[in-house]
Amino acid sequence: MKRIASLLTIGFHMLAGASEPAFHPTACEGFYPRHVQGICTDGKSAIYWCWTDVLVKTDTEGRILKKVPVADHHGDLCFHAGRVYVATNLGEFNRPAGEADSWVYVYDGESLTELAKHRVPELVHGAGGMAWHDGRFIIIGGLPPGVEENYAYEYDESFRFQKRHVLASGYTLMGIQTVAYADGAWWFGCYGKPKLLRTDEKFQLTGKWEFDASFGIAPLDRGRFLIAQNKAMKGKDNQAKLVIARVDEKTGLVIEEP
């Protein structure tokens, strides 16, 4: 009976473990000259890290599976239907219209082979980040000083422009850096103050906080997110790690202790 009970206990823990999400706090292997711009996952077993001019795919332990050089400046990214989509600006950021050169680069999620690129000229201050939800891409980017609102640009799956959404955010330094959707809300990571914005599905502002999600935010489940934290090392190399944060109405998000 003791042996049967022991086997049942082991089986219970295996089943419980199988139901837990694969993603947990980890660090990306390696050192990089530029800081991390964003992260996303395939929802199963892979993490994608954009290092401005290097795109990296790791397993959930942060071990490199693929690593490819990319055009400067690749920004925040998202995963959809087996592909990785990266908001990219080949021109100037945070300048008046006419100086940006905004694109979306598309990569195979398995090999990181470049598959396509699409112009998104509506992002006149520079494409900096993107997310996918409910049949549409939302792309965010730079902002000139003194502009007292941000913008979220909506595209269909073929990157036909649909609409520009206005966020009554006030000015945020260099616009918006990262974006993610979860549980009926859009989340936006910014530099400066405020650092974190939240809107409803119609992009009506529902919160501003000082939690830093400007290096990467990716949804998990049960109101939790993977948050990227970048560290500049001596010699100007960069490392990044992921922590888990959960929704908190006072601070927007709060990091869960391991």
Which residue shows structure tokens 């990266």?
86
pLDDT-based confidence at 19, cuts 50/70/90? very low
Given a cut of 90, is residue 13 above it in pLDDT? no
Cα–Cα distance for residue pair 249/256, rounded to 1 Å: 15
pTM of the model: 0.92
What backbone phi and psi angles, to 5 degrees, belong to 142? -75, 175
**Two tokens at 202?**
């119609």
Q: Nearest-CA neighbor of 95 among 144, 43, 152, 140?
A: 144
Q: What is the DSSP string of 66-131?
A: EEEE--S-EEEEEEETTEEEEEEESS-SSSSTTS--EEEEEEETTT--EEEEEE-TT-TT-EEEEE
Q: For residue 139, what are its two tokens?
A: 């792309």
Q: Does residue 12 lie within any of the structural domains?
A: no
| Per-residue pLDDT, 236 | 75
Give the range of the structural domain holding residue 194, as residue numbers without chain letter. Answer: 26-255
Whether residue 5 lies inside any domain: the answer is: no
Q: What is the pLDDT of residue 257?
A: 84
Does residue 10 lie in a domain region?
no
Q: Which pLDDT does position 234 carry in this prediction?
A: 78
Q: What is the pLDDT of residue 258?
A: 74
Distance CA 142, CA 91 (A): 11
The confidence score (pLDDT) of residue 93 equals 98
Q: Which has more confidence, 200 or 15?
A: 200
pLDDT digits (tens, 9 = 90+) for 180-238: 999 999 999 999 999 999 999 999 999 999 999 999 999 999 999 999 999 998 777 99
257 and 244 in contact (C-beta within 8 Å)? no
Domain with residue 133: its CATH number is 2.120.10.30
Residue 116 lies in a domain: yes
- Confidence grade of residue 17 (pLDDT, cut at 50, 70, 90): very low
Distance CA 228, CA 213 (A): 7
Flag whether 82 is in a domain: yes
Question: What is the domain count for the chain?
Answer: 1
Q: Is the pLDDT of residue 129 over 60?
A: yes
Could you read off the pLDDT of 58-116 as tens digits, one per residue? 999 999 999 999 999 999 999 999 999 999 999 999 999 999 999 999 999 999 999 99
Is residue 158, in this structure, part of any structural domain at all?
A: yes
Q: What percent of the chain has pLDDT over 70?
A: 92
Q: How confident is the model at residue 171 (pLDDT cuts 50, 70, 90)?
A: very high
